[in-house]
Structure 1
Amino acid sequence: MLVITSENEEDLQWRVVKWQETLERRGFKVNVDETETMVNSKEGNDRLAIHENRGSIINQVGQFTCLNSTISQEGGCKAEVEKRIKAAWGKGREVAEVVCDKKIQIKIKVKLYRIQTRPVLIYGTGTWAQNEKRKQSLKEQR
């Protein structure tokens, strides 16, 4: 993964072409079909037409996943929060038979939640920018 940042479209275009030319001079080939751009803005609706050095437009995406973490063009991690909640529900379903068993003590059920479900829910949250809405959605799952 490579991140190229810029304050404006013209400079970004120049940097992308320079990057591609430098790689090709060293014997590498950029696969434009596998290359993506993402504009990070508060509105999340900015569109840029970034061209590689042969003229093809590089695909622009609304969200990007790297190292199993997803970020969106709005700069948020809503998709990542939703993914964590879904994964936690999946783990919860795995132990539903135990959790719903009235013969098992509540203490055991809580321990099971703490060691199996909660870690799945909060994995990676230390790198998320927190706001009240996001904190609330995670608290609702506890």
Structure 2
Amino acid sequence: MAETTEELSTMLGDLSRASERVGLKMNMDKTKVMVNIHVAPTPIKIGDSTLEVVDDYVYLGLTVQLGRSNFEKEINRRIRLGWAAFRKLHGIFSSNLPQCLKTKVYDQCVLPVMTYGSETWSLTMGLIRRLKVTQRAMERAMLGVSLRDHIRNEEIRKRTKVTDIARRIAKLKWQWAGHIARRTDGRWGRKVLEWRPRTGRRSVGRPPTRWTDDLARVAGIRWMRDAQDRSLWRRLGEAYVQQWTSFG
């Protein structure tokens, strides 16, 4: 990370030379450059290779993107990966196995794929609704019914008994937020939460949803202090989960 492309070019050049001294080589196909609105995108060369400037990049299994709508592409990607995992297990879901076994396979093999990394998402009603719609479609596929059968969502859930995706995401994020707030080892997780970015004019339009917005709606702006009390945090967590599972 650097403040100018010149500084970044110098850092990458140093990394490349240091790698070669110990017999390693940078993979230029996997090395990309992303810039924000404060830096003009300019080509960066390392040796004979010119690094590609991209708008988003998959890093450690998550789509990293600068700017607004930071999790839109990641949600789309999670839905695609969820369907891919579901189709691989189509033979199980379309078989005559008891529904309890299908539910167990779904909760252990498909749901984790769709919710991977959700602890880091800035949650909105729109994103959660899209995930819930996808889950309902998977439940109908498991039961062999369609929208034309006009079966209510509540009835479908009674039959499948799968874990509600909104509940899982909310619990994961709430637990992770409490874990980060209680850390005292000086890691970057808490430092990033306490960091205040550069001052200046806000961009035009509605401000983007921040990671802490939905936490603060339930626990208040001093939620990091409340997270120190584990029993209080667990009680507040019930209300937090409820706000994401009570709609749609």
TM-score bracket for the superposition, by shorter chain length: 0.5 to 0.7
1:16 alignment partner in structure 2: 8
1:112 alignment partner in structure 2: 105
1:126 alignment partner in structure 2: 119
Paired with 2:19 and 2:90, the residues of 1 have a C-alpha distance of 55
Mark the runs of 5 or more structure 1 residues left unpaired by the alignment: 7-11
2:206 alignment partner in structure 1: none
User: Contact 1:91 / 1:116 at 8 angstroms: preserved in 2?
Assistant: yes
The Cα offsets for residues 12-62 of structure 1, whole Å up to 9 and x where unpaired, read as: 13422442565578685997x655321235xxxx852255599x9753111
Q: Given the superposition, is the C-alpha separation of residues 40 and 128 from structure 1 closer, same or farther in structure 2, using an over 3 Å criterion? A: farther
Q: CA deviation at 1:81?
A: 2.0
User: Contact 1:49 / 1:58 at 8 angstroms: preserved in 2?
Assistant: no
1:80 to 74, 95, 102: 74
Q: Given the superposition, is the C-alpha separation of residues 53 and 83 from structure 1 closer, same or farther in structure 2, using an over 3 Å criterion? A: closer
Paired with 1:107 and 1:48, the residues of 2 have a C-alpha distance of 53
2:85 alignment partner in structure 1: 91
What percentage of aligned pairs have identical amino acids?
20
Higher percent of residues as helix: 2
Q: Given the superposition, is the C-alpha separation of residues 112 and 38 from structure 1 closer, same or farther in structure 2, using an over 3 Å criterion? A: same
Letter in 2 for 1:94: K
Paired with 2:82 and 2:107, the residues of 1 have a C-alpha distance of 11
TM-score (norm. length: structure 2):
0.41
Mark the runs of 5 or more structure 2 residues left unpaired by the alignment: 136-248
Letter in 1 for 2:90: A
1:141 to 123, 134, 137: 134
Paired with 1:95 and 1:109, the residues of 2 have a C-alpha distance of 10
Superposed CA RMSD in Å reads 3.4
2:63 to 70, 73, 87: 70
Paired with 1:119 and 1:64, the residues of 2 have a C-alpha distance of 21
